[in-house]
Amino acid sequence: MPAIAVLGCMWGDEAKAKIVDYLGTDTEFVVRFQGGSNAGHTIVVEGKKYVFHAVPSGILYPGTKCVIGAGVVIDPISLVSEIQELENSGIDFNQRLFIDERAGVVLPLHRELDTISEGMLKSGKIGTTGRGIGPAYADMTARAGIRIIDLAHPSYLKRRLRELYQYHGRSLDNAGMKEVSQTLAMCWERLKGYVAPTFGMLQEAHKRDAGILFEGAQGTMLDRSWGTYPYVTSSNTLVDAIGTGAGFSARKLDEVLGVYKAYCTRVGEGPFPTEIHDELAQKIRIQGNEFGATTGRPRRIGHFDAVLASYTATLNCLDGIAVTLLDVLSGIEELKICVGYKLGKRVLSEPPAHPLDLQKVQPVYTVLSGWEEDITQARSMAALPANARIYLEAIQDLLELPVKIVSVGKQRHQTFNA
């Protein structure tokens, strides 16, 4: 069984979990390696909707073990309630969830700092999910952060908490310390059974040739280094983050699959060259239920951007792509795909690094004819209308990569191999 990475390759919300779920029927491990509860991964099984934030979506398959790797930042309060909710809907976590000891901790302090920093940014807010992700990663990088394993060492934890508050120019009085350490102690009681050294577990599984799926969160255009900085998330989201975030070198992967929506969306601020503002955007938003799974915010909508898509395909060294939400484009007369950016007199084939330049680029479009038919029942390429096939072929040609999987609806079964 292979080791496969499933990565969001735009600005997140590409329906990664749906593809993980499609591929994961008999995989042994599903692993999250970066991000935190800023992710909102949705899977619909027999009409029932499950939303995951930190728990890998593989938990839906009873035989699958799920790992939260060292590169993830975990909000223990939110993880405890996520587990509780999933248990209430009948999911068994016993011997199935493993949290790496080295994972970072998101504290209520980080949520507060996230809100404060959004209000303070004079150059324009980022539009974060407000989950404390940026401040938590910043503290990890500054070596001031708290790790999950610290929760097992109460006096050490108290020292670290005091120093962390000092680092942020705050003092933690006795009552404050009591409150935060009691909350963490309660979370630890609930989580400690899941905390494990996951490094050896994944290496051993790989030696046995067990199936391992790595579930990306966010997307390459939100990568801290290669995305639309500063309008990005605070982790690296590229394939290489699997090595640092799960202790499993990306060199060991057998396949890297990039997930793209058939159009583009973005939630939060930042440049979006192919964004559309007319009725078409609203039609796609309603049709595709483009509202954030974590924050409920309406997502911004745009045409498929092959400039960015080729860039992210190269960054991740993709073997193939999955195209999701193709059904949402039914009933649109003309479909545009961005094939280049004009910036002044130049035509660019990759995005400029500066947000002011990316904001200024004029997309160059190729226009394709759409299709009228409802395609939600299609289960093969042959069952798609000719124009839908031509649209997928155009994406395939522009990215120079095979379309391997197509998704035509929310439900688990509305997916097929191309």
Q: Which does 375 bind (CB under 5 to 8 A by kind): Mg ion, ligand IMO, none?
A: none
Catalytic residue among 13, 139, 150, 223: 13
Q: Which of 40, 134, 211, 247 binds Mg ion (CB under 5 A)?
A: 40
Which residue number places its CB atom closest to Mg ion?
Answer: 40
Interface positions with ligand IMO (CB under 6 A): 8, 11-13, 38-41, 126-129, 131, 133-134, 217-219, 222, 231, 233-234, 267-268
Contact 35, 106 (CB under 8 A): no
- Our finding on whether 215 is near Mg ion (CB under 5 A) is no
Nearer to ligand IMO among residue 8 and residue 245 (C-beta): 8
**CA dist., res. 330 & res. 411, Å (int):** 17
Q: Which does 126 bind (CB under 5 to 8 A by kind): ligand IMO, Mg ion, none?
A: ligand IMO
> CB of 243: closest distance to ligand IMO in angstroms?
19
Q: What does the per-residue mask of binding to Mg ion show for 268-297, with x meaning CB under 5 A?
A: -------------------------x----
Which x/- pattern over 160-199 shows residues binding Mg ion (rule: CB under 5 A)? Answer: ----------------------------------------
When CB distances to ligand IMO are compared, the closest residue is 268
Q: How far is CA 389 from CA 153, 383, 396, in A?
A: 58, 9, 10
- CB nearer to Mg ion: give 261 or 336: 261
Q: Give the nearest distance from C-beta 328 to ligand IMO in angstroms.
A: 17
Q: Which of 37/415 has CB closer to Mg ion?
A: 37
Active site residue 92: no
**Shortest reach from residue 68's CB to ligand IMO, in Å:** 14
51 vs 368 by CB, closer to ligand IMO: 51
Is 385 within 8 Å of 340 (Cβ atoms)? no
Instruction: Give yes or no for residue 13 binding Mg ion (CB under 5 A).
Output: yes
Q: Specify whether 13 is catalytic.
A: yes
At 263, give phi and psi (nearest 5°).
-140, -170
Give the nearest distance from C-beta 115 to ligand IMO in angstroms: 11
Look at residue 73 and give the partner it binds from Mg ion, ligand IMO, none, a contact being a CB closer than 5 to 8 Å depending on partner kind. none
Q: Is residue 14 close enough to count as binding Mg ion by CB under 5 A?
A: no
With respect to Mg ion, which residue has the nearer C-beta, 53 or 147? Answer: 53
Least separation in angstroms between residue 190's CB and Mg ion is: 25
The CA-based angle 53-58-64, given to 5 degrees, is 140
Q: Which of 41, 53, 110, 303 is catalytic?
A: 41
Find which of Mg ion, ligand IMO, none residue 128 binds, CB within 5 to 8 Å per kind.
Answer: ligand IMO
Count of residues in contact with Mg ion, rule CB under 5 A: 3
Helix/strand/coil (H/E/C) assignment for every residue in the chain: CCEEEEEECCCCCCCHHHHHHHHCCCCCEEEECCCCCCCCEEEEECCEEEEECCCCHHHHCCCCEEEECCCCEECHHHHHHHHHHHHHCCCCCCCCEEEECCCEECCHHHHHHHHHHHHHCCCCCCCCCCCCHHHHHHHHHCCCCCEHHHHHCHHHHHHHHHHHHHHCCCCCCHHHHHHHHHHHHHHHHHHHHHEECHHHHHHHHHHCCCCEEEECCCCHHHCCCCCCCCCCCCCCCCCCHHHHHHCCCHHHCCEEEEEEECCEEECCCCCCCCECCCHHHHHHHHHCCCECCCCCCECEEECEEHHHHHHHHHHCCCCEEEEECHHHHCCCCEEEEEEEEEECCEEECCCCCCHHHHHHCEEEEEEEECCCCCCCCCCCHHHCCHHHHHHHHHHHHHHCCCEEEEECCCECCCEEEC
Q: Distance between CA 10 and CA 363 in Å, rounded?
A: 16
* In the complex, least distance from residue 260 CB atom to ligand IMO, rounded to whole angstroms: 12
When the beta carbons of 175 and 356 are compared against ligand IMO, the nearer one is: 356
Q: Considering the complex, what minimum distance in angstroms separates the CB of residue 73 from ligand IMO?
A: 10
Task: Name the binder of 222 from Mg ion, ligand IMO, none, CB < 5-8 A by kind.
Answer: ligand IMO
Interface residues with Mg ion (CB under 5 A)? 13, 40, 293
Q: Which residues are catalytic?
A: 13, 41
